Structure 1
Amino acid sequence: MTEFVLDPRLENDSTSIMPTGLCDLRLSKDARWPWLILVPRRADITEIFELTPLDQVLLTFEIELVANALKKVTGATKINVGALGNIVRQLHVHIIARFEGDANWPGPVWGFGKAEAYDDSKRDEFITTLRETLSS
């Protein structure tokens, strides 16, 4: 049995916020959108259907929990949820807050423009607020 190892691209492009029951909840380093990523801490999984039935239920629960918290914290117009994995094969789920008039609205976030880094204090404040919301 192999151990869970985070894909280096996910590690490089995001910051860990906190572990959940199943996943590592991460924040994308692209500040153009409040963009969270849930990565199930299971080795060698690329598809949702490869998870055990119980892990599938846990993932669904955690997606709902995180999406609801993100909507509450940001007041987003729309929450986008997707698990593509065409480039980074390790199973991960994107949960992205979208707003009318944001970068590339209403188009997709993938492949649009150039990533913008967070200001450290704004990133830390967002992470703290999100953790508090998820803990309440």
Structure 2
Amino acid sequence: MSEADFTLDPRLAIDTCAVASLPLCEVRLMNDARYPWLVLVPRRTGLVEITDLDIAGQATLWQEVNRASAALHATAPCDKLNLGALGNIVRQLHVHLVARRVGDAAWPGPVWGHGHAQPYANADLPGRLDALRRALAATLP
């Protein structure tokens, strides 16, 4: 379960854009402009469940979830932050953080399986990524 052997699941690579690397996780933006949505992927091979990480790894994961949550709130104010680690389609351990607004496309239901992703416009994506990177940097301990 080393970082040297880490490979991002192809589906995550297709559906997301790189934002930043934290000590444990790759932070990625889901390419769906309907929802501000980050995905954190621990850079360890063979992880499926959060409990596959040792206790120190779990603590680091939750610290990074907190940092990403703060960055998401700073760049996309929301009514509710949804957090999930489903893994039913992509088995590689990854944690979703979705900023939800009352009245968004799937409200009040889950975003998974609701309609089709609407990719960010090419003109909007760089600014979104930059804002998230700045907000993540501002969360440094």
Question: Any idea what the Cα deviations from partners look like across 1:53-82, whole Å, max 9, x if unmatched?
Answer: 111000000001101110121111111110
Match of 1:27? 29
Q: Tell me how large the CA RMSD over aligned residues is.
A: 1.1
Distance across 2 between alignment mates of 1:98 and 1:59: 22
Identity %: 47
- Please tell me the residue identity of whatever aligns with 2:38: L
Structure 1: stretches of 5+ with no match in the other structure: none
The list of structure 1 runs, each at least 4 consecutive aligned residues, that deviate by more than 4 angstroms after superposition, is none
Distance across 1 between alignment mates of 2:128 and 2:53: 30
Distance across 1 between alignment mates of 2:64 and 2:101: 22
Match of 1:125? 127
The structure whose residues are more often helix, as a share, is 1
Question: Any idea what the Cα deviations from partners look like across 1:10-55, whole Å, max 9, x if unmatched?
Answer: 0011111110110000011111101100000000000000101111
Distance across 1 between alignment mates of 2:76 and 2:17: 18
Structure 2: stretches of 5+ with no match in the other structure: none
- Please tell me the residue identity of whatever aligns with 1:38: L
- Please tell me the residue identity of whatever aligns with 1:66: A
TM-score by length of 1: 0.96
Distance across 2 between alignment mates of 1:34 and 1:126: 9
Length, aligned pairs only? 136
